[in-house]
Chains A and B, each alone.
Chain A
Amino acid sequence: EAGVTQSPTHLIKTRGQQVTLRCSPISGHTSVYWYQQALGLGLQFLLWYDEGEERNRGNFPPRFSGRQFPNYSSELNVNALELEDSALYLCASSSSGGSYEQYFGPGTRLTVT
């Protein structure tokens, strides 16, 4: 069974640009979570999608947005990039109604210069 996949693996952008990160959950999982992890810091919750709907969002500005598609894959969009957006962006999926264990993808390393 394939795990959670994310693309791209690495990305370098400049301040003010926009970026789109992609995530495909494990087959059968309907929930997708996005996290930001700055170097050496803990996981910061960004967004939670389930069945195509945004269920909750963390304490991030509106320039962080996303969506979930009918096949449960998801995109995270970040507009007007700032230097402090440089981080590892992790996507996780889970099956609602189960143990709610989250399975993580390998992450996208975003560097903003």
Chain B
Amino acid sequence: GQNIDQPTEMTATEGAIVQINCTYQTSGFNGLFWYQQHAGEAPTFLSYNVLDGLEEKGRFSSFLSRSKGYSYLLLKELQMKDSASYLCAALMDSNYQLIWGAGTKLIIKP
């Protein structure tokens, strides 16, 4: 079967650091996407990890461990505008289709 798990909701403080975890169980795996979705808007691309390790992109970093079926998104120096849902999605190597997690709603408090 195919399954992706991420926490439903997280709360963090402005200026702090937060890590959003994503675990996946898929019969075939090519890579892991992270998207950001503000309420009422379409998802926008944040990162794509194919190889193990950490990829840094400004305040956002994404990590992948293929052997553990695990990824995380790290957000530093949190800003109020980072309040959004963060979706992880696994790219299947059989048909190149994305399998989506339900999303983690991140609430930033002053």
Contact = CB atoms under 8 A, between A and B. Distances in A.
B87 A43 contact: yes
A102 B97 CA distance: 10
A9 B41 CA distance: 12
A42 interface: yes
Question: Which secondary structure dominates chain B's binding surface?
Answer: loop
Interface in A28-68: 33, 41-43, 45, 48, 55-56
Interface residues of B, number: 20
B100 A43 contact: yes
Contacts of B101: 42
A96 B42 CA distance: 21
Contacts, number: 45
Interface of B: 30-31, 33, 40-45, 48, 87, 91, 95-98, 100-103
Interface of A: 33, 41-43, 45, 48, 55-56, 88, 90, 96, 99-107
A42 B42 contact: no
Given A33-B98, A43-B87, A103-B45, 8 more contacts: A42-B87, A43-B100, A45-B97, A90-B42, A100-B96, A101-B48, A106-B41, A106-B42
